[in-house]
Chains A and B, each alone.
Chain A
Amino acid sequence: MRRATRVRLAADTALLLTAAAFAVPLLWLVLAAVDAEADLRLRVPSSVTAGNFDAVLTDEITFTPMLNSLLLCGGATVVSVVCAALAAYPLSRHRSRWGRSYLLTILFTTCLPITAIMVPVYGLFVQVDLIDTMYGTALFLATAQLPFAVWLMKNFMDGVPVVLEEAAWTDGASNLQTLTRVVLPLMGPGVAVVTIYTFIMLWGNFFVPFMLLLSPEQLPASVSIFTFFGNYGSVVYGQLAAFSMLYSAPVLVLYILISRKLGGGFALGGAVKG
């Protein structure tokens, strides 16, 4: 056997073993969701049923939490992306010591463990009466994701040549007009990546809504699923798996949408590359 073939076979084998280890929990999710008698163990269902999905597709279990997630994460994403686009513009277009320190601070906050400040945030929210409000929680989520959104947006914006704006300036366009009519349309795919990425990160966020929202009817899917399986013992695993699939589906679909854009060069990798 040729040496190159041997190397490829060895690499394939090692990767397939790893792939199997990553696949087992995912496979359990898919099989348990269609198994009427699902338990904790991975197994092929004796008969395939949609019963688990039927059981969880109710207002209380699925629709309300998913709608809450959509409002919460959608709202936070809009705030985050709009603020990031505005902020990225001067940072990308104007050079100064000041802008540089601002960017370094932004980058520094990107790295801070947000988990650590949840205790004071909770205290602050109680005092200013933002606790248990959707908009308060959405604003905090937007802020938590903002540093990375600014950083990513600025990197995409740097790719748009300034020459194109100069024409608009000559015609007397203001900064805001140049940004919304020239720069943002030109970096459409970049804006899409930042938006989708921000939404994916927020959709999966558990700790923030878990701390800041209290009333059951306001909880997003990330927290409701936890209360669902938090009461160990009486769990119907098949239904929980079905719900997990419904809850995960939007982010998986969105990721597939941007993966072409991210793949290859992988913009996020590029954004943080040393």
Chain B
Amino acid sequence: MSASRTGWWRWVPLAPATILLLLFLAGPIGYCVWIAFTDTQLTGKAGAAFVGLDNFRRAFADDDFRNAVLLTLVFTFVSAIVGQNTLGLALAGLMRAASRPVRTLTGTLVITAWVLPEIVAAFLLYTFFRREGTLNAILDWLHLPSQNWLFTLPILAVSFANVWRGTAFSMLIYSAALSEIPREVTEAAEVDGASGPRRVLYITLPMIRRSIGTNLMLNTLSTLSVFGLIWAMTRGGPGNRSQTLPVFMYDQAFLKSLIGYGTAVALLLLLVGSLFSVVYLRLMKVDP
């Protein structure tokens, strides 16, 4: 066997990927840590002074920041944890009982919504929720009160949009997980007289609990960084009523030119993300 399969140079093919990751991912994260502790106003270094924890103190005292944290929690909880996750699981479960054409039709529609570019999805849901849009037309037809959704309930509108766009991922994960449960297990429970809900609660759910953990974590992480969807639908408004952390960060850093402050917010978001990632890796007990 030649040396190229035993020496250190067998790791050389890692170099291109590693260089890119260091330059464009690790670099910015390091830079992020530095500017979060300065009062950088615009992009140049000139005039930026080290301000220690000021940006973070300022964030925790800032009503708009606290509003953004709260909205991020609402958005993530409603759209990722309840919406995408539960709907995805329900769809995957129902598909196992449904007839083939219905299964294909639903699957195709849900996946199409997922594959569409983010801004197209945002645009479609924007027209759906507008005062003159389809949702109100349907409500009128049903003689139910209509309203200007993007104005009265902006955070729910964007949450629904995120569910519409992101449920396919959960559905696919759960379909894969459910297809791996041996039929004999559920059949045995049925013979023993366990009712439908009991079988789901005591057999199916425990058997796919690792998929549930993985899926919840990935949904949470991807929802934490949603920007385009919200920005295109509401720009974080009206006022700041749909301003989640990424939108708040963009607003502070670029529209208000407070780069240092915006970066401190980004760093907090990154910390939350890292925390979730660590928990997720623990949960998965990955063994590469």
- Interface set of A (CB-CB < 8 Å, partner B): 7-8, 10-12, 14-16, 18-19, 21-26, 28-29, 32, 39-42, 79, 82-84, 86-87, 89-91, 94, 98-100, 102-104, 107-109, 111-124, 126-127, 139-140, 142-144, 146-147, 150, 154, 169, 172, 174-176, 179, 200, 203-207, 210, 221-222, 225-226, 229-230, 237, 240, 244, 247-248, 251-252, 255, 259, 265-266, 268-270, 272-274
Contacts of A100 in B (CB 8 A): 288
A–B complex contacts, Cβ < 8 Å, 9 sampled: A22-B164, A25-B164, A84-B17, A86-B13, A87-B13, A94-B10, A116-B225, A169-B1, A175-B13
Chain B 184-218 per-residue mask, 1 if CB under 8 angstroms from chain A, else 0: 00000000000000000000000000110110011
Q: In the complex, which of the residues B15, B259, B270 contacts A116, with contact meaning CB atoms closer than 8 Å? A: B270
Chain A to chain B: the 10 pairs with minimum beta-carbon distance, closest first:
A274-B210, A113-B225, A204-B117, A115-B225, A206-B228, A103-B288, A87-B17, A11-B97, A111-B277, A143-B24
Q: A18-B91, A274-B210 are in contact. Are A8 and B177 (CB under 8 A)?
A: no
Q: Is the CB of A109 within 8 A of B284?
A: no
Q: Is the CB of B266 within 8 A of A274?
A: no
Q: A112-B273, A274-B210 are in contact. Are A104 and B286 (CB under 8 A)?
A: yes
Known interface pairs A111-B221, A146-B21; 5 further A-B residue pairs with C-beta atoms within 8 A, sorted by A's residue number: A28-B134, A117-B270, A119-B249, A244-B123, A251-B115
A15 to B125, CA, bound (A): 21
Q: Is the interface of A mostly helix, strand, loop or mixed?
A: helix
Q: In the complex, which of the residues B102, B213, B277, B283 contacts A108, with contact meaning CB atoms closer than 8 Å? A: B277
Q: In the complex, which of the residues A15, A87, A118, A221 contacts B106, with contact meaning CB atoms closer than 8 Å? A: A15
Q: Is the CB of B43 within 8 A of A122?
A: yes
Contacts of A204 in B (CB 8 A): 116-120
A24 to B109, CA, bound (A): 10
Q: Is the CB of B5 within 8 A of A119?
A: no
Contacts of B138 in A (CB 8 A): 24
Contacts of A259 in B (CB 8 A): 111
Q: Is the CB of A117 within 8 A of B25?
A: yes
A42 to B130, CA, bound (A): 12
Q: Is the CB of A22 within 8 A of B118?
A: no
Contacts of A210 in B (CB 8 A): 228
Q: Is the CB of A82 within 8 A of B16?
A: yes
Q: Is the CB of A274 within 8 A of B113?
A: no
A252 to B121, CA, bound (A): 13
The range of chain B's interface size is 35 or more
Q: Which of B49-57, B58-66, B151-159, B168-176 sits within the interface?
A: B168-176
B105 within 8 A of partner (CB)? yes
A36 to chain B: closest CB distance in Å?
Answer: 17
Q: A119-B32, A244-B123, A274-B211 are in contact. Are A113 and B224 (CB under 8 A)?
A: yes
Q: Is the CB of B134 within 8 A of A24?
A: yes
Contacts of B262 in A (CB 8 A): 119
A26 to B15, CA, bound (A): 44
Q: In the complex, which of the residues B40, B109, B267 contacts A23, with contact meaning CB atoms closer than 8 Å? A: B109
Contacts of B113 in A (CB 8 A): 22, 25-26
Name A259's closest neighbour in chain B (CB-CB). B111
Contacts of A91 in B (CB 8 A): 14, 288
B51 to chain A: closest CB distance in Å?
Answer: 16
Q: In the complex, which of the residues B10, B94, B259 contacts A175, with contact meaning CB atoms closer than 8 Å? A: B10
Contacts of B227 in A (CB 8 A): 115, 206-207
- Interface set of B (CB-CB < 8 Å, partner A): 1-2, 4-5, 10-18, 20-21, 23-25, 27-29, 31-32, 35, 40, 43, 45, 87, 90-91, 94-95, 97-99, 102-103, 105-106, 109-113, 115-120, 123-128, 130, 132-134, 137-138, 164, 172-173, 175-177, 210-211, 213-214, 217-218, 221, 224-228, 232, 246, 249-250, 253-254, 259, 262-263, 266-267, 269-270, 273-274, 276-278, 280-281, 283-284, 286, 288
A114 to B225, CA, bound (A): 7
Q: Is the CB of B281 within 8 A of A104?
A: yes
A65 to B244, CA, bound (A): 29
Q: Is the CB of A22 within 8 A of B110?
A: yes
Q: Is the CB of B110 within 8 A of A120?
A: no
Q: Is the CB of A25 within 8 A of B125?
A: yes
Q: A24-B128, A229-B123 are in contact. Are A252 and B112 (CB under 8 A)?
A: yes
Q: Is the CB of A19 within 8 A of B109?
A: yes
Name A173's closest neighbour in chain B (CB-CB). B2
